[in-house]
Amino acid sequence: MTATSPYPIGTPGQPWGDAERAAWRSRQRVQRRYADDVLPRIEALRATFDVAEYGRVVSEGETFPLFAVRSRDWNDALPTVLVTGGVHGYETSGVHGALAFLERHGLDYAGRVNLLVAPCISPWAYERVQRWNAEAIDPNRNFCSGSPCAESAAMVALVAPLQGRIRLHIDLHETTDSDENEFRPALAARDGKPFSPGEIPDGFYLVGDTPNPQLDFQRHVIDAVAKVTHIAPADGKGQIIDSDVVSPGVILYPFRTLGLCPGLTDASYTTTTEVYPDSPRATPEQCVEAQVAAVVAAVDYALHAKD
């Protein structure tokens, strides 16, 4: 499919109904296994962390348990850090970066912060290397009360008791070439809108919150990641993905207004990482390392910052 070819599902100009969603779902093929890649690593963390099932996703006879990993020495007097990965299942380094952070650095923060990590929010999509869930819903526009997305609703319920106590939320993502050649065209087709081609940035960048940008915090994370991989430059319009660059490698979105994952809480420090795994200048391992570096830098900053 090209930018000028119609998406193979639906009628141009008409939003999808149930039949189109079913047709889209029938095209999705399992390419990897949550039970093989993710669950054994979560299970191994039970030796040093508390692991809890916070929900289940069921689709056409398949059941996916959703797990969160928590500090074993949880202390309500300490600040709480929330790390999320796999909101979009195809964004591989977000899932494996969250797990690698726990495996390598999680215990470094024992007695200093409470860690709550949801490594793979969308396991159905993880297996199919997809952006949406089985109902063709983007979880990352539906972190809100009464969410129609099961994956998002489960996270909303998990975090609800911690409102007012989370100091940092870092959400781990990727921007890929498939955003432009598959996922954005699918979105336009699903919603009955025309597709306008865009530009994929080459490199790592962050998305901060428009009402609470915390640019010094964002710069601290960018500086740490720059030691691991390259930072995405602004395009000729001074933008990254059609948003103004407000600091090198940093753009802003209104998290809560858009129903994005970092808008789940009223945390003082929030950010979304975006790694570019299709760059000829980066490897899959480097992308995971960039995610780990971002989490460590974010936690260290939030731990020592004076509000």
- Decide if 176 contacts 275 (C-beta within 8 A): no
Check: CB of residue 73 under 8 Å from CB of residue 111. Answer: yes
- pLDDT, average across residues 92-114: 98
- What is the tens place of the pLDDT at every residue in 141-173? 999 999 999 999 999 999 999 999 999 999 999
Mean predicted confidence (pLDDT) in 37-43: 98
Q: Give Cβ neighbours of residue 118 (< 8 Å, ≥ 6 apart).
A: 54, 66, 67, 68, 69, 82, 83, 84, 85, 86, 98, 155, 158
Per-residue confidence (pLDDT) for residue 305, from 0 to 100: 86
Structure tokens at 2: 């090209």
Distance (Å, rounded) from C-alpha 32 to C-alpha 142? 25
State the pLDDT confidence band at 6, using cuts at 50, 70 and 90.
confident
Per-residue pLDDT of 235-273, as tens digits, reads 999 999 999 999 999 999 999 999 999 999 999 999 999
Q: How far apart, in whole angstroms, are the C-alpha atoms of residue 23 and residue 104?
A: 42
- Angstrom CA distances, 39 to 98, 174, 198, stand at 13, 21, 36
For residue 279, the model assigns a pLDDT of 96
